[in-house]
Amino acid sequence: MEINIEKLEKTRKYSLLGSAFLMLLIEIILLVIFSRNGEILNFRSIYWIFHFVSSILFICFCKNIMKNDLEYYDVFIIIFPVIGIIMFIFDIIFSFWKVKRAIADEILGQEDDFYNNLEKIKKDYDLSEFDVMSSYDLLLSSNNKNKKRFLFSYESKDPKLKVEILQRALLDENTEVIHYAATELNKLDAGLQEKINTLEKEREDITDKNELKEINYKIYKFYKQYINSGLLVEEILDFYQRKTLELLQDLDIDENKKELEKINLYENMKNKKEYEKLLKDRISKYSESEMMSKYLRFLHKENRFEDLLLKYKEYNEKYGDAIEKPVFLES
């Protein structure tokens, strides 16, 4: 995925740079032709008409075809012939060198240097500049610079929320924004895998029962964090869910806690029959309102509305307001 993005970005940058040089050539030719009779000083002259038309066509090409936000350079290109396009070319060259150096380092395997550079960039921006609650609105804006700054700076105590925001950024039209989001997602994924692998290697040398119990629980927690992160999908998610379930079965913990953990795991797994069975068994043993509410939500999600109404009526008669009311019954 990263290599495809890198190739796309490389092609786009070179195309944009080539187009800018072509525009510069046109500007110089117009300047040479019309400077002989002094028409460049008359804003109503043919020279300025040609300049405005070529500038607008170039700006439209950049925004609609190349999907590049010129930001304030569009004004410079229109107002300052030749100078404006030269400024834009220098900006492309600078951004190309800066971004592509980072991408090249990553692809060549120099990940440590690449991620260190990202950390330095993060320190340069204050997260308080961004309203986390409006992060989705920011990603929908056309300001690519702010979007990139936000992706570099955003941290969340909830890894799943960060993953959701980064995955949203993968749908952006700007390839730099896509690359930054993909890089951060890969970093999160690699970080969790590294923690799991490190703990599993450490476990191989442990013989003490208490230490083994402790590290097994740590490994389980990281697997659980991994499957709930939003980073995994389809068959890969299914594999890690089953792996996490196996780890839970082998944990030396209280059986009641293990049962609750098992229910929470099955809640997001494909085996709905087993999940329903676990909920029913738990409710019959302990009559917990939380489990009853879970069961009602499950029936609603499965579109079993008749069963849902019957169960809600049964639970409501016994436990009243302690039971969560189904969504479609709320007034």
Residue 276 tokens, joined? 């329903």
Q: How confident is the model at residue 208 (pLDDT cuts 50, 70, 90)?
A: very high
Same domain? For 104 and 24 the reply is yes
Same domain? For 48 and 123 the reply is no
- Residue 292 in contact with residue 318, Cβ under 8 Å? no
Same domain? For 299 and 322 the reply is yes
Q: What is the mean pLDDT of residues 238-264?
A: 94
Q: What is the mean pLDDT of residues 236-259?
A: 94
Residue 197 lies in a domain: no
pLDDT of residue 59: 84
Same domain? For 41 and 131 the reply is no
Residues 6+ apart with CB under 8 A from 27: 51, 54, 81, 82, 85
pLDDT of residue 108: 40
Work out the percent of the chain whose per-residue pLDDT is above 90.
Answer: 31
Same domain? For 104 and 121 the reply is no
Same domain? For 72 and 163 the reply is no
- Residue 30 in contact with residue 47, Cβ under 8 Å? yes
pLDDT of residue 245: 95
Residue 69 lies in a domain: yes
Q: What is the mean pLDDT of residues 217-234?
A: 94
Mean pLDDT, all residues of the chain: 79
Domain of residue 289: give its range.
258-331
Residue 281 tokens, joined? 């068994």
Residue 216 lies in a domain: no
Same domain? For 43 and 92 the reply is yes
Q: How confident is the model at residue 116 (pLDDT cuts 50, 70, 90)?
A: low
pLDDT tens across 130-142, in order? 444 466 666 766 7
Residue 8 lies in a domain: yes
pLDDT of residue 168: 86
Residue 90 backbone phi and psi in degrees, to 5:
-65, -40
End position of a domain, from candidates 78, 109, 140: 109
Q: What is the pTM of this model?
A: 0.58
Residue 319 lies in a domain: yes
Distance CA 147, CA 177 (A): 7
Q: Is residue 185 pLDDT above 50, yes or no? A: yes
Distance CA 82, CA 59 (A): 14
If you compute the radius of gyration of the chain from its CA atoms, what whole number of angstroms results? 29
Q: Is residue 15 pLDDT above 90, yes or no? A: no
Q: How confident is the model at residue 283 (pLDDT cuts 50, 70, 90)?
A: very high
Q: What is the mean pLDDT of residues 93-101?
A: 56
End position of a domain, from candidates 190, 207, 238: 190
Residue 212 lies in a domain: no
Residue 230 lies in a domain: no
Same domain? For 144 and 48 the reply is no
Same domain? For 93 and 125 the reply is no
Distance CA 71, CA 323 (A): 54
Q: How many domains are contained in the chain? A: 3
Tell me the C-alpha to C-alpha distance, in Å, between residue 82 and each of 49, 93, 121, 193: 15, 17, 33, 52
pLDDT of residue 102: 45
SS3 of 60, please? helix
Same domain? For 144 and 79 the reply is no
Same domain? For 325 and 308 the reply is yes
Distance CA 89, CA 96 (A): 10
Q: Is residue 128 pLDDT above 50, yes or no? A: no
Residue 226 lies in a domain: no
Same domain? For 64 and 7 the reply is yes
End position of a domain, from candidates 161, 190, 219: 190
